[in-house]
Amino acid sequence: MRDFVLKRVAALLLPFIQMYGLYVIFHGHVSPGGSFAGGIVVGLAFIAFATIYGLERGRAKVPEKATTLVESYGTLWYGLMGMIGIFKGAPFLANKLAGIDLGELGALSSGGLISLIGLGVGIRVASTMVALFFTMMEDES
Amino acid sequence: MSFTTVDYGTMVMLLILVVASLAMYFIKDLLHAVIVYGAYTLIMALVWLQMNTPDIAITEAAAGIAMTVLMMVAIYRTSRREE
């Protein structure tokens, strides 16, 4: 793959695509989108990098160990965020009941823990997409 | 019962959805079917937007692209394309 224009355009666009994906993840409670859609956008940025720059360089960016760890610990992160409520003496996944300052309406902090929970789900979805892509593309050995 | 122009636009999009779904079933070439699926998911995202659910529209667009890419990869990896 020696396409100069494609590589330069991808190098310009991919950081913004990833930033947009993270924006969609973190603003899931105040704007359209959510952790699932944002996670897929982040994962597609990695997939686009791997298809344009070659599988080896893509694999160097996201090793198999990284996708495995992120997939597991993203779910664990969700559970830990839910346990905050229990530690504070409130139900599981409690937000305002756990004494978290929610700030003003419409701000990013108005969701309390939802942005952090969404981060766990989002990186998990992204790593699942990347793992699916690499599992299909790489040779069985 | 009266239709506005928005309703006519939605009806046209829903008609395209039905035609694309049937086409995906009857087309023999798998690559062509995936291309039709890409068109289907684009129109479906517009329909979700028309129904005032931008949340689902973003998810549909992202997931549609992702599934299109993954199915293209699956077709690329399998040697025979004809069903």
Each domain of chain A, given as residue ranges in start order, spans 4-137
Q: Does residue A137 contact residue B73 with C-beta atoms inside 8 Å? A: yes
pLDDT in tens, A32-69: 888 999 999 999 999 999 989 988 898 998 898 999 99
**A112/B contact by beta carbon, under 8 A:** no
- Asked if B63 is an interface residue toward chain A (Cβ–Cβ < 8 A), one would say yes
Going by C-alpha positions, the residue among A115, A112, A101, A110 that lies closest to residue A27 is A115
Which residue type is seen at A74?
Answer: G
Q: Considering CB atoms only, which of A32, A44, A136 is closest to B55?
A: A32
The reply to whether residue A44 touches residue B62, judged by beta carbons under 8 angstroms, is: yes
Reported as a single tens digit per residue, the pLDDT across A90-99 is 888 888 887 7
Q: Cβ separation of B65 and A34 shorter than 8 Å?
A: no
- Residue A90: burial class (beta carbons within 10 Å; 0-12, 13-18, 19+): middle
What's the pTM? 0.85
Beta bridge partners of A46: none
Task: Count the Cβ atoms, other than its own, within 10 Å of residue B62.
Answer: 26
| B62/A contact by beta carbon, under 8 A | yes
B29: helix, strand or coil:
strand
pLDDT at residue B73, rounded to an integer: 86
Nearest CA in chain B to A139: B77
* ipTM computed for the complex: 0.78
Amino acid in position A86 = I
Confidence grade of residue B80 (pLDDT, cut at 50, 70, 90): low
Rg (CA), chain B: 15
Q: For chain B, what is the largest distance between any 2 Cα atoms, rounded to a whole number of angstroms?
A: 53
Under a CB-based contact definition with an 8 Å cutoff, are residues A27 and B45 in contact? no
The nearest alpha carbon in chain A to B67 belongs to: A129
Residue B58, φ and ψ in degrees, nearest 5 = -65, -45
Residue A1, Cβ density class (10 Å: 0-12 exposed, 13-18 middle, ≥19 buried): exposed
Torsion of CA B65, B66, B67, B73, to 10 degrees: 110
Nearest-CA distance from A42 to chain B in Å? 10
Give percent of chain A above pLDDT 90.
Answer: 46
Instruction: Tell me if A136 and B70 make a contact (CB, 8 A cut-off).
Output: yes
